[in-house]
């Protein structure tokens, strides 16, 4: 196997080769590090590459194989972690000039601990915009670029991890998703990106545990890889109240066990708060629906009016940043991202009544989505309304262009399919659906019932079998 083929080997296959002593974790890591050294100057996906620690861990992984120890499902697999999540021995800079001088983290985040316990070799911190605030990835570290087209964004805010996985720099990356920040980059980069059910995967570092809308999930090139990583991350934490009696992962629905899906119903949603969807995205979404329909799935378009609370969602999002970031303004205002500052300025204008009404609206949206699941097993829609934006796009002010028409700022015109499910808590996963007329990936989003990640992933696996995608490699890889 060539190094290039190894870089694009699914994690599940690489782990099997390691267990059978046909692949050395040390040689595997070295191949990834060499590729990262070549590719990172072009795509700028890593903020920190932890060469020495990763090599020590890979060596230990190899020794464990030699000794015949019991091995975890990710044993010897190189994984990157978004730079909002602590990794022992590496700085956590949060994509911000404010934390450029941070020293090494004293301990691993709980999720990093779980990845290491499963055998993963953590080798890099992936780039993120300041505090993960926007759907593009740039900051004091420069601009992160999409391996499919270096003039386009890989999305955000888990854009560094998405660009890395798409380019073959590790088969998996740990991302976080506060308003689509795993699914959007997956859509832009031709990947699988899972946002789990609220309470399935702990998010210990959120400031508002009870009103949480932030999730952690995998970015992967295959459904199986995403499913294995998700299975490693789930479980309660005494610091996250949602997880303590949170949703258990439901077993696979019996009607999804085989290839005859005659008992399955999909509600198709063509638009949410967005005024338009690009023709190529719509066509590829419908092609994905047709693949499921050929397996016996009944598909019905959801035509009833739904208030997707774009305004109220913006109140919650921007007001939170206005309050949280206010402490940094006296010293750091001139070095903060203009998008962060713009969101703070807008958020500061909302009243307490605005904020409480937005919280009430969140509950109403949850109940509306719950009512849809009385009729449907899944909701399906595009993940983004168009392919990846230009890297120069101003997320705070520039309107998104779709088929020559201005469609509002990013959350209105581009990522509007994503944030509602951060608010309702339902599991949602982005899957590649094909390529647009510009040659960039498009994506379809599958939303499931609470705790039904296994069903959501099964639907992705069936789509993957009918319309394979992992054989495609970006030109900048």
List beta partners, residue 126: 46, 82
Nearest-angstrom CA–CA distance, 200 and 185: 21
Q: Is 116 within 8 Å of 108 (Cβ atoms)?
A: yes
Alpha carbon distances (Å) from 93 to 97, 99, 157, 336, 381: 8, 5, 14, 13, 34
Instruction: Determine the Cα angle at 295 with ends 452 and 262, to 5°.
Output: 70
- The span from the first CA to the last CA of the chain, in angstroms, equals 17
DSSP annotation of 99 reads G
**Which amino acids are annotated catalytic?**
82, 157, 181
Q: CA 38 → CA 45, 77, 322, 363, 371, distances in Å? A: 12, 20, 39, 48, 50
User: Does residue 119 contact residue 126 with C-beta atoms inside 8 Å?
Assistant: no
Rounded to whole angstroms, how far apart are CA atoms 109 and 122? 12
Q: Count the neighbouring beta carbons within 10 Å of the beta carbon of residue 437.
A: 11
Using an 8 Å Cβ cutoff, are 433 and 231 in contact? no
- Alpha helix segments (H runs only) across 373-471: 410-413, 419-424, 453-466
Q: Which among 276, 281, 271, 279 is positioned nearest to 308, based on CA atoms?
A: 271
Residue closest to 251 by CA, chosen among 18, 41, 452, 423: 452
H runs (alpha helix) in 75-123: 110-117
CB-based contacts of 180, cutoff 8 Å, min separation 6: 135, 195, 415, 417, 418, 419, 422
């Amino acid at each position: 196997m060539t190094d290039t083929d190894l870089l694009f080997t699914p994690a599940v296959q690489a782990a099997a080769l390691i267990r059978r002593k046909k692949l050395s974790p040390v040689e595997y890591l070295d191949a990834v590090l060499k590729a990262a050294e070549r590719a990172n100057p072009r795509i700028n996906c890593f903020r920190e590459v932890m060469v020495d620690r990763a090599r020590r861990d890979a060596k230990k992984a190899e020794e464990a194989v030699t000794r015949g120890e019991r091995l975890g499902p990710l044993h010897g697999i190189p994984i990157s972690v978004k730079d909002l999540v602590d990794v022992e021995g590496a700085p956590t800079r949060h994509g911000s000039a404010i934390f450029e001088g941070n020293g090494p983290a004293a301990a691993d985040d709980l999720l990093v601990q779980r990845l290491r316990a499963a055998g993963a070799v953590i080798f890099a911190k992936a780039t993120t915009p300041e505090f993960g605030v926007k759907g593009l990835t740039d900051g004091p570290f420069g601009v992160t670029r999409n391996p499919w087209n270096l003039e386009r964004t890989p999305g955000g805010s888990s854009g560094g991890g998405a660009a890395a996985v798409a380019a073959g720099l590790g088969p998996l990356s740990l991302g976080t998703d506060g308003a689509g920040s795993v699914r959007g980059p997956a859509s832009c980069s031709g990947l699988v990106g899972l946002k789990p059910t609220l309470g399935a995967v702990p998010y210990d570092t959120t400031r508002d545990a009870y009103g949480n809308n932030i999730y952690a999930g995998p970015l992967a090139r295959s459904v199986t890889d995403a499913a294995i990583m998700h299975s490693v991350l789930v479980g309660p934490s005494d610091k996250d109240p949602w997880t303590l009696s949170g949703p258990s992962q439901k077993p696979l629905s019996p009607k999804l066990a085989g290839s005859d899906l005659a008992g399955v119903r999909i509600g198709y949603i063509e638009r949410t708060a967005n005024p338009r969807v690009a023709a190529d995205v719509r066509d590829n979404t419908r092609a994905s629906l047709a693949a499921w329909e050929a397996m016996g799935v009944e598909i019905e378009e959801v035509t009833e009016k739904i208030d997707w609370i774009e305004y109220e969602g913006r109140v919650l999002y921007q007001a939170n940043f206005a309050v949280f970031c206010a402490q940094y303004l006296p010293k750091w205002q001139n070095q903060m991202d203009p998008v962060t500052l713009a969101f703070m300025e807008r958020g500061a204008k909302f009243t307490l009544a605005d904020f409480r009404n937005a919280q009430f609206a969140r509950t109403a949206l949850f109940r509306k989505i719950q009512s849809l699941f009385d009729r449907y097993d899944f909701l399906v829609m595009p993940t983004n309304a168009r392919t990846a934006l230009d890297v120069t796009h101003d997320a705070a002010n520039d309107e998104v262009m779709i088929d020559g028409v201005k469609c509002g700022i990013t959350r209105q015109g581009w990522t509007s399919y994503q944030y509602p499910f951060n608010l309702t808590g339902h599991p949602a996963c982005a899957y590649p659906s094909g390529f647009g007329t510009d040659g960039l990936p498009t994506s379809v989003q599958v939303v499931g019932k609470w705790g039904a990640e296994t069903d959501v992933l099964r639907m992705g696996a069936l789509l993957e079998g009918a319309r394979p995608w992992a054989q495609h490699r970006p030109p900048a890889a």
